Chain A
């Protein structure tokens, strides 16, 4: 049947000709699409609303960054209070020992979207003081979670007791395991009294 080669030839010709026209015109027109790279897909807007660095961060945003492992939490309270309970994966960095301890934990702040300082009580100045020290030391993306420890417990977010894990991977693993931890231990976070004020505000 002579029609089949004719149809095939014409079809291939049409495919080739249309491709030629399409790519030639695309190259010439100012709003032509880039062909050699993947289609530009609009990144989904982040649900986390961050203030300019150095400002305060809302608990919801801090919790979301915690869940996705994008934040590191710095506990500005004393070591004693830290060991009684702290945000899971947080690093204890009392303001009074900032100068001596900062170099040890500096490497663990790298690559995070946010470095979140917290203490306890709405008037607690430690977290703000720590944030100031961090910014002066050149740390970017520093935020303060005001009344952090109380709010964190009130929402039954993951907490830990005792000394913090010393290695960065362990901290990250702790953050990434959050959902499981919450599911497995619903009673792990027990509010300790939400009106509790900072007991280590001397610095």
Chain B
């Protein structure tokens, strides 16, 4: 705990809340469009060619709800330790998926925040951008989880 105090410019509890809030905004924003357009999101999921056909629809239906629930938990503080850890795991899984897709040469529409298909006339967004953005989000989520777990440990010890 002492180390965290030294590292953070703000008290850990406040940092914990700010980080969770920021992460929650990302998750809630990410889930909104997918919840509204399940068929479009299913098409994007299928575009990754990472799941058997039978699992595409269930995953496309379930994933936005997981993001929504994680966002709500992070804001409310309910089941917060699990939510931060799971969010970091989720972003890690997305990141690996993007890396694998890039390695396989699949130029996917990310589908991370929008279900709109890419404008065919526009310059395609390079996979490296998606990978970099997801790496940043993964960093944020991992840091949030670390801060949250440290605070939780402190609370348990107190």
Report which A residues bind B (CB closer than 8 A). 2-3, 6-11, 13-15, 17-19, 21-23, 25-26, 31-35, 37-39, 41
10 sampled A-B residue pairs with Cβ under 8 A: A7-B81, A7-B82, A11-B86, A14-B73, A18-B69, A23-B58, A23-B61, A37-B57, A38-B54, A38-B57
> For the complex, what is the distance from the CA of A7 to the CA of B73, rounded to whole Å?
13
> For the complex, what is the distance from the CA of A59 to the CA of B25, rounded to whole Å?
58
Enumerate the 9 nearest inter-chain pairs by beta-carbon distance, A residue then B residue, closest first. Answer: A10-B82, A38-B53, A22-B65, A39-B56, A18-B66, A10-B79, A11-B82, A22-B62, A33-B57
- Give how many B residues have a beta carbon under 8 Å from the other chain's beta carbons: 32
| Residue contact A13 to B38, C-beta cutoff 8 Å | no
| Residue contact A22 to B53, C-beta cutoff 8 Å | no
Complex interface: chain B residues within 8 A of A34 (CB): 57
B30 proximal to A (CB < 8 A):
no
Known: A2-B156, A33-B42. A14 touches B83 (CB 8 A): yes
Interface residue from B38, B56, B152 paired with A38 (Cβ < 8 Å): B56
| Residue contact A32 to B65, C-beta cutoff 8 Å | no
Complex interface: chain A residues within 8 A of B60 (CB): 33, 39
Q: SS class of chain B's interface: helix, strand, loop or mixed?
A: helix
Chain A residue at minimum C-beta to C-beta distance from B58: A35
Report which B residues bind A (CB closer than 8 A). 38-39, 42-43, 45-46, 53-54, 56-58, 60-62, 64-66, 68-70, 73, 79, 81-83, 85-86, 89, 149, 152-153, 156
> For the complex, what is the distance from the CA of A32 to the CA of B39, rounded to whole Å?
8
Complex interface: chain B residues within 8 A of A41 (CB): 46, 53
Known: A3-B153, A14-B79, A33-B57. A25 touches B65 (CB 8 A): yes
Complex interface: chain A residues within 8 A of B65 (CB): 18-19, 21-22, 25
| Residue contact A7 to B85, C-beta cutoff 8 Å | yes
| Residue contact B38 to A26, C-beta cutoff 8 Å | yes
Chain B residue at minimum C-beta to C-beta distance from A21: B65
> For the complex, what is the distance from the CA of A19 to the CA of B153, rounded to whole Å?
29
